[in-house]
Amino acid sequence: MTTAWLDANVILRFLTKRPPALAERARRLMEQAEAGRVRFRIRTVIVAEVVWVLGSKSYGYDAARIADAVGGFLRLEGVAADEPDLVLSALQTMADRNAPFVDAYLAASAAQSGEPVCTFDDEDFKRLDVPLFS
C-alpha cells in the first residue's frame, strides 16, 4: 500500500464538492483510500487550514458544520490524521463552545498533558475549562 501526505486543497474539494472537476478527482482519491490502495496522512496544521477555510466568507460553515464535516472526513477508511483523538476532541470543543479550532486544540493538548496554558486571552480559555498559567 502506498502512503501519501494529503494537502488541504484535496480535503476542501472533497468536502465542498467545489469546483466539480476537482471535487470528482478528490472523490476518486478517497475511493482509493477506502479500497485500501492508499493511506492518506494528514498533519494537524492541515486540519487547522481546512477548518479556517471552511469558516471563511468563501464557504461560511459554522463551527458545528465544520466539526461534523472534518470529523467525518478524518474517520474515513484510509485517512490517518496525526493525533486523531486530540484533533477530534478539539473539533468537538470548537463546535460545543464556539471556540476557534486552534484554541480548542491547544486546550485539549494542555488537558492531555496535565499542564496549563499560558495566554493573554484568559476569557476565551476560561470557557475551555483549562488551567491557566500566570
CB–CB of 45/90 below 8 Å?
no
CA dihedral over 15, 19, 23, 26, signed as positive or negative: negative
> Residue 50 gets which letter from DSSP?
H
Predicted structure pTM score: 0.95
Q: Is 47 exposed, middle or buried (0-12, 13-18, 19+ CB in 10 A)?
A: buried
Per-residue pLDDT of the chain (134 residues; tens, 9 = 90+): 899 999 999 999 999 999 999 999 999 999 999 999 999 999 999 999 999 999 999 999 999 999 999 999 999 999 999 999 999 999 999 999 999 999 999 999 999 999 999 999 888 888 898 999 98
